[in-house]
Structure 1
Amino acid sequence: MQKKNQLLRIGSILMILGAAMAMLMAMATASTLDMGMSTVNSLTQDPAFMADLEATGMTLDQVLAAAKNLLTAVMGMMAVFNVIKIVVGALGLRKLQSGTVYFTGWGIAFLVFGVLGLLIFGVNNLMGIANLLGGLAGPVLYIVGGAQNKKALQAAAQSEEE
Structure 2
Amino acid sequence: MERIADRVRSLVLFDAHLPRTGESHGDMVGPARAAKHVEMAENGGEGWYIPTSDASWYGVTDPEHAAWVNRHTTAQPLKTYQDPVGNTDRAWSHPGMFIECVPSTLEPHALDRVRKRHADDPAFQYRVLEASHDAMVTDPEAVTELLLEAVDIA
TM over 0.5: no
Higher strand share: 2
Structure 2 length as normaliser, TM-score? 0.32
Q: Per chain length, whose mean CA-contact separation is higher, i.e. which structure has more relative contact order (CA < 8 Å, sep 6+)?
A: 1
Higher helix share: 1
Structure 1 length as normaliser, TM-score? 0.31
The structure with the larger Rg is 1
